[in-house]
Amino acid sequence: MITKEEMVELFADMEANAPWDLSKPLLWGYFFADKSKTKLELAQLLFKTKGYQIVGIYDSKPEADSPALWWLHVEKVEHHTVDTLHARNQEFYQFAEEHQIESYDGMDVGPAD
């Protein structure tokens, strides 16, 4: 689980090193993983109704001792602070639990076009 302290570190690192303005909306990507592609297909419909762009559902290559995972990648242009991103992460952990999705795996960020 991503902690608030990790969010503080992320924002400090972005402030020091990222080539974009943190006071403006950025493109945030969010990732969910499950062995069931069907669960992620249903989840993507819910995300669409909340204004998220669906980047795709991808499969990983299975390793010898574990089955392949499916990954759902959604994204949205929005402005975040440490507190709002921490709250979003908590919302997505709860979403994953409520929809019996194995994992909310975190986020990435980049400049909004």
Measured distance CA(36)–CA(71) in Å, rounded: 10
Three-state secondary structure call for residue 14: helix
12-43 pLDDT, tens digit per residue, is: 999 999 999 999 999 999 999 999 999 999 99
**Where residue 68 falls among pLDDT bands split at 50, 70, 90?**
confident
Instruction: Assess whether pLDDT exceeds 90 at residue 63.
Output: no
- Which domain does 78 fall in, by range? 4-111
Measured distance CA(99)–CA(39) in Å, rounded: 8
DSSP 67-106: ---EEEEEEEEE---HHHHHHHHHHHHHHHHHTT-SEEEE
Closest C-alpha among 17, 16, 37, 18 to residue 102: 37
pTM of the entire structure?
A: 0.92
Task: Return the CATH number at 87.
Answer: 3.30.70.970
Is residue 83 within 8 A of residue 90, CB to CB? The reply is no
Is residue 81 within 8 A of residue 22, CB to CB? The reply is no
72-109 pLDDT, tens digit per residue, is: 999 999 999 999 999 999 999 999 999 999 999 999 99
Number of structural domains found in the chain: 1
